[in-house]
Amino acid sequence: MVKNIKLIAVVFLVIVSFFILLKGLNKTNNYSPNLNSSNIDFNFKAKFLYSNEETTLYELINDKDFSLINIWASWCLPCRDEHPYLLNLNSLGKLNIIGINYKDSEVNAKKFIKELGNPYSKIVVDPSGVNSIELGAYGVPETILINNTSKTILKKYIGPLDDKKLAELKMIIKNEN
């Protein structure tokens, strides 16, 4: 009887661990953060790309209903791919698109904008990457949609924009209005 209990226990344990591991196989390994946490520090200080003045996020966002913060760099290839989407969004006229130039040289950043067009109403630089960390960003490219009146994050995308994300952004803007 005792032997039986031991056998059953072992079989049971094996089965349980099998299913736990099986479940683990299907689970994605990458940690996906809580993207909609509305924690954002508006006292963030940064310098403009085209002038030497310092500004805060408060001053940057108070134009229109929504702000779109886009973190980019000239050395970042996906940023090149997503640039047409930003230009497209800018043509809507409802968004105040703020560019944060991440760990870039001034010359290259300006060249990038000259070459591909400027969807941004304002561009600030983040040479050390500290401002991006303060925004809770992971790297480039990253896009954050902010409601200017309620000062909350509506949506955050890690990685380049694409057709799907563009449609989603447009939907959110439409519904919120």
Which segment (5-13, 25-33, 46-54, 141-149) binds other proteins by CB under 8 A?
A: 25-33
Q: Is 4 in the site for other proteins (CB under 8 A)?
A: no
- The interface with other proteins within residues 110-149 (CB under 8 A) comprises 128-130, 132-136, 138-139
**Rounded Cα distance, 175 and 38, in Å:** 19
134, 159 contact by CB (below 8 A): no
- Quote the least distance from Cβ 158 to other proteins, whole Å: 9
Token pair 């990458």 in the structure block, residue: 30
Best CA proximity match to 138, nearest among 53, 71, 63, 58: 71
Q: Which residues are 123's β-sheet partners? A: 99
* Among 4, 26, 29, 177, contact with other proteins (rule: CB under 8 A): 29
What residue ranges bind other proteins (CB under 8 A)? 29-31, 33-34, 37, 39, 102-103, 128-130, 132-136, 138-139
